[in-house]
Amino acid sequence: MDDNEMWQAVQTCDPAYDGEFFYAVQTTRIFCRPSCKSKCPRRNNVEYFKSSAEAEVAGYRPCKRCRSDLPQYDPDRDQAEARSSLTTISVTGKSLTSS
């Protein structure tokens, strides 16, 4: 995989590349998955890593949006599950607060 292919994956937030590489933004010191929905960085500020461990050793911290430190985290799935739970609670009339 070359630099152009990885950059294209970052620009399009392509989940097919998750686990293949991570990208880090030098100005923020944060690393992300290719599918991260964060603002697209400037290409000249991006560095690529084969693993999250390599990015952390290089001094980057995991993204709080895409949770690049958690291999099994799928932000789209987890958000859908959370919305589904909230819908179920509002439909059944259950209260989130204690009486």
Q: How far apart are CA 53 and CA 60, in angstroms?
A: 10
Residue 36 bears catalytic tag: no
Find where tokens 């709080």 sit.
64
* Three-state SS annotation for 48-98: EECCHHHHHHCCCEECCCCCCCCCCCCHHHHHHHHHHHHHHHHHHCCCCCC
Q: What is the pTM assigned to this prediction?
A: 0.72
pLDDT digits 0-9 by tens, 53-84: 999 999 999 999 999 888 776 655 555 555 55
Hey, what are 24's tokens? 């880090």
Candidates 76, 95, 73; CA nearest to 86 is: 95
Residue tagged active-site, from 32, 36, 63, 66: 32
pLDDT digits 0-9 by tens, 6-59: 999 999 999 999 999 999 999 999 999 999 999 999 999 999 999 999 999 999
